[in-house]
Structure 1
């Protein structure tokens, strides 16, 4: 059996605990960007579910947007849904709130409670790929599983 990095194993254990059988895999090279991950997996960049952490200005709470790899998050769109201002989250904030480094933030298993939004564009694919706690670790899932696992709200992000 393949031994996963500690942060990736945490995600694998959580996936099983949630009742799913999705397998975390580690790529030989970085999957830090959607383009790198898609190249390694031989899939469309749009099938990469990239996790982007923002900071709510009012409360300093983390907000996760799980976006299709080809989409740029329109922060104004998310601010309208939240009725609050979004700020940039630096690497320290991301690690502090999620327990993961940028480039490896999984959509689940965060240290603190995270408000989660899911890009509606991901719903058109039968399978998508998300980071699994480490820049080289990923797992395959369906958009339905992503919604169930994260309890995220599907929104238009662009």
Structure 2
């Protein structure tokens, strides 16, 4: 794995969801740690350039809901737009709905688009895009729009208890 980009300690690292992610990484003997990224970065492409990795190695996260009001967590590559109907077909669900801001916050303690799959009070069934697998390092949201953590695909599956899924 490449070295972690330098960052300074700012209040982002004191956000409860980010703290929970950092604690989970330690508790689970993960290789990476939470890194703060500049607030001036806009979107996954700029984040990938900042981290020095391909866009496909940057993960996006989403909380989805089934018709029966069960929730699940999805981690996809930034190059694979999450299409809920396609994923519903893969998971043999009649329909999946994206969580709104309030739902994501309630389930993860994070805002929409920055949800971490780690440190959740109530872990969710997690599905991880196989498009992330070829990359030696994967960068995942850590509970705040300006915080990420580095991991490997196999480690991400272990950390989340996730299931590989083909999203595209």
TM-score, normalised by the number of residues in structure 1: 0.89
Unpaired segments ≥5 residues, structure 1: none
Counterpart Cα distance in 1 of 2:97 and 2:40 = 27
From the superposition, tell whether residues 123 and 11 of structure 1 become closer, same or farther in structure 2 (CA, over 3 Å). same
* 2:115 aligned to which of 102, 105, 124: 105
1:73 aligns to 2:97 (yes or no):
no
Mean Cα deviation higher: 78-87 or 134-143: 78-87
Runs of 4+ in 1 over 3 A off after TM superposition: 30-33
From the superposition, tell whether residues 104 and 32 of structure 1 become closer, same or farther in structure 2 (CA, over 3 Å). farther
The 8 Å contact of residues 32 and 103 in structure 1, kept in 2 or not, is answered as no
Q: State the 1:25 CA deviation.
A: 0.8
Unpaired segments ≥5 residues, structure 2: 1-7
Partner of 1:13: 23
Partner of 1:156: 166
**Deviation sequence 1:73-122 (CA, Å, 0-9, x none):** 23233213432220121110111111111132112222323121110111
Matched residues, number: 157
Partner of 1:33: 43
The 8 Å contact of residues 97 and 110 in structure 1, kept in 2 or not, is answered as yes
Q: State the 1:54 CA deviation.
A: 1.2
1:2 aligns to 2:9 (yes or no):
yes
TM-score, normalised by the number of residues in structure 2: 0.84
Mean Cα deviation higher: 115-124 or 23-32: 23-32
The 8 Å contact of residues 63 and 114 in structure 1, kept in 2 or not, is answered as yes
